[in-house]
A and B are shown apart, each in its own frame.
Chain A
Amino acid sequence: MFSGLKIAMVFVLLASAGGAFIYVKNLQSNLEIARANNAKLEIAVETSEASLKVLKEDNARLNELNSTLNVSLSKSEAYGDELRATLNKHNLTHLANKKPGPIEKRMQNATNKLWNDLESITTVTPGVQSDETRAGDQSSNKD
C-alpha cells in the first residue's frame, strides 16, 4: 500500500515539475515577445520623434521665409506710394506750363532712372545671365 502511495507521490511530483517547466518556458517565450515588441515600439517612437523634429524645423523655416516674403512684398509698394505722393503734392500741369525746361529734365531723369531700376530688379545672379549685349539707345531722338 505504501509503495503504491510512494509511486503516486513520485508521479505527482514529476507532473508538478513538468507543469512548472512548461509554465517557465511559456513565461520565457512571452518575455521574448514582449522584449521584441518593446524594441519595435522604441524604434517607432524614435522615428516619430525624428519626423516631428523635421516637421518643426520645416515649419520654423517656412515661418521665417514667410516673414521675409511679407517684408519684401510691403517694400515693393514703396515706389508706387512715393510716386503717388509726389504727383499729389505737385501740380505738374501748372509747373510744366510755367517751367517746361526744368520739368523736362526732371521727367527725363526720372524716366531714365525707372529704366535703370527695371533693369536692376530683373538682373539675375552672375553666370545665369545671357551674354547678349544691351539694347542701348535705339531712340530716334539723338542728342
Chain B
Amino acid sequence: MRQEPEIKVVTKIEKTVVPTVPHPKPVQMNDIKIYVVSPSENFEEFKKEFESKNGGDAYIAISIKDYENLSLNFAELRRYIEQQKAIIVYYEEAVSPLPKTEKSE
C-alpha cells in the first residue's frame, strides 16, 4: 500500500518591494539684478545706469513692503520644497528593504 505523502505548510514573511523613482532634476535659477532707488538720493544716477544697460526700456518698480512680501513668499516656497523633500525621503526609506546586516540579526 502506497504511503500518503506528507504535506508541509511553510509560512514565510514576504514584503512588497516598492521601487523608488529618480528625483527630478534640480532647479536652475536665472540671475536677476536689483536696483534700490531712493527718490531723494540716487534716482538720477539709477536712470543713467539703467539706460546705459537697457536703453529706454520700461522697468518694473516694487515697493519695499512688496519686496518684503515677495521674499516671504519665496521663504514659504522654500519651506514647502524642503518639507516635501523630507517627506519623500521618509517614504523612500520606509518602503526600502532592510539592509542584510539588520535582517540577519
Residues of A with Cβ closer than 8 Å to B?
Answer: 43, 47, 50-51, 54, 57, 61-62, 65-66, 68-69, 72-73, 75-77, 79-80, 83-84, 87, 92-93, 96-101, 103-104, 107-108, 110-112, 114-125, 128-130, 132, 134-143
A122 to B82, CA, bound (A): 8
Query: Is the CB of B31 closer than 8 A to any CB of chain A?
Result: yes
CB pair B30 A50 closer than 8 Å: no
CB pair B33 A54 closer than 8 Å: no
Residues of B with Cβ closer than 8 Å to A?
Answer: 9, 11, 13, 22-38, 40-42, 53-54, 57, 64-65, 67-68, 71-72, 74-76, 78-79, 81-83, 85-87, 89-90, 93-94, 98, 102
Enumerate chain B residues within 8 angstroms of A130, measured Cβ to Cβ: 25
Give which listed residue, A62, A87, A108, A125, contacts B72 with CB less than 8 A: A87
A51 to B81, CA, bound (A): 37
Enumerate chain B residues within 8 angstroms of A92, measured Cβ to Cβ: 64, 67-68
